[in-house]
Structure 1
Amino acid sequence: MKVRIITFALCFMGILATAQTKVGSINSEYIVGLMPEAKKVLSLLNDYAKRLDSSYQIKLKEYQGKVDAFQKLGPEISDNFKKIKIDELGDLEKKLQLTQQNGSKLLQLKKNELMRPLYKKLTDAIAVIAKAEGYTQILTTSGNEFAYIDEKFDLTQKVMDKLGVKIPKENKK
């Protein structure tokens, strides 16, 4: 009977030993920010933002011109005409706000579109390292809070080496 219990215990411990997971961490935002392609993405994003802003500025000037014209109207205009002009200015103001909101959304969509290839490249490099070193999970430290992270499982430098990304001299510890 003791032999069966000991055999069962050894088998159970063997199963537990093979079922353990290996978890690593990575600072993905840091790596993406240092990738050479990130500078090109930032430049393209700035150009896109300027185009969106120029469109907004045109509408803003049109709105401001109509506000100035309304303020120059004399007291002799009818209340009916004032109401029409105020409604017209209110509609223009709503359109201006909508243009600004749409511009922000379009800018975010463009950023996501331009950043997608960088994150794909990063994900592929992480997968290669994780498989080669037997990691079952890799957590990103970007934007998350952890109570404890063992530095020996931080793969940030290995992934940077795989991608050929170098730490700038002013950021080295």
Structure 2
Amino acid sequence: MKKLSVLFAAVMMVVSVGMAKAQKIATLDVMAVLNAMPEKKKADADIKVFLDAKQAEIKKKADAGQAKLKQYSEEAPKKTAEENKARETELQKLQEEIAQMQEKAQKDLQGKQDIAFAPIEKKLNDAIEKVAKASGFEFVMDSNSSAFVYKGGADATAAVKKELGIQ
């Protein structure tokens, strides 16, 4: 019985090693491919323009709020308690508006990124799938992944860039 279990264990080891060797695994530097794609460069530029505009809008509102705060602080001793309370309420409302603007800008940015990067991601995934099938790769792993422990197989980065027509 003991010999049978040892024999079974040995057979399982040989089978599993054989299966592991039969699998073709390649690595891919996804970020290098993405950064070389002209579509991504254009999307990044468009998003930067959008973000800069939103930040300028928020800064303008914040600067106006700072100016009011400075003015109200200087005039506070000369005003009545009722006027100061109204001014304080106004400043709080302005602060809430700025926070809402920042929140909306973040949501708008996320939506714009999702829309801009969806076709790029699809194009990359289609190219990876085509190259993997043509090369017989069963797995293509991102070489930048923190979970990636060993890189010794073929690298599909050049083939995917070639499929996309980029350098």
What TM-score bracket applies, with the shorter chain setting the length?
0.7 to 0.9
Partner deviation per Cα, 1:93-137 (whole Å, 9 max, x = no partner):
122123123323322331232122111111011000111122222
Task: Give, in angstroms, the shift of residue 42 of structure 1.
Answer: 2.1
TM-score in terms of structure 2 length = 0.77
Alignment correspondent of 2:109:
107
Q: Distance in 2 between the 1:123 and 1:74 partners?
A: 62
For residues 14-50 of structure 1, the C-alpha deviation after alignment (integer angstroms, 9 at most, x for no partner) is 8985684322221111111011222221221122123
SS in 2 for 1:139: strand
Aligned to 1:30: 32
User: How does 1:38-57 map onto structure 2 within 5 Å?
Assistant: 38-57=40-59
CA pair 76-122 structure 1, distance change in 2 beyond 3 A: same
Q: Distance in 1 between matches of 2:147 and 2:16?
A: 32
Normalising by structure 1, report the TM-score.
0.75
Cα distance change of structure 1 residues 18 and 79 upon mapping to structure 2, 3 Å threshold: same
Report the more deviating stretch, 53-62 or 41-50. 53-62
Tell me which residue corresponds to 1:142: 144
RMSD of aligned residue pairs (Cα, Å) = 2.7
Runs of 5+ consecutive residues of structure 2 not aligned to the other structure: 1-9
CA shift in 2, pair 1:92/1:115, >3 Å: same
The farther-off stretch of 116-125 and 52-61 is: 52-61
Aligned partner (choices 94, 109, 118) of residue 92 of structure 1: 94
Tell me the SS of whatever aligns to 1:25. strand
Q: Displacement of 1:143 after TM fit?
A: 4.3
Structure 2 residue identity aligned to 1:159: V
Q: CA deviation at 1:72?
A: 3.4
Aligned residues: 156
Match of residue 161 from structure 2? 160
Aligned residues: percent identity? 25
Structure-2 change in CA distance of 1:143 and 1:90 (3 Å):
farther
The answer to which of 92-101 and 117-126 deviates more is 92-101
Aligned residue for 1:149, secondary structure, equals coil
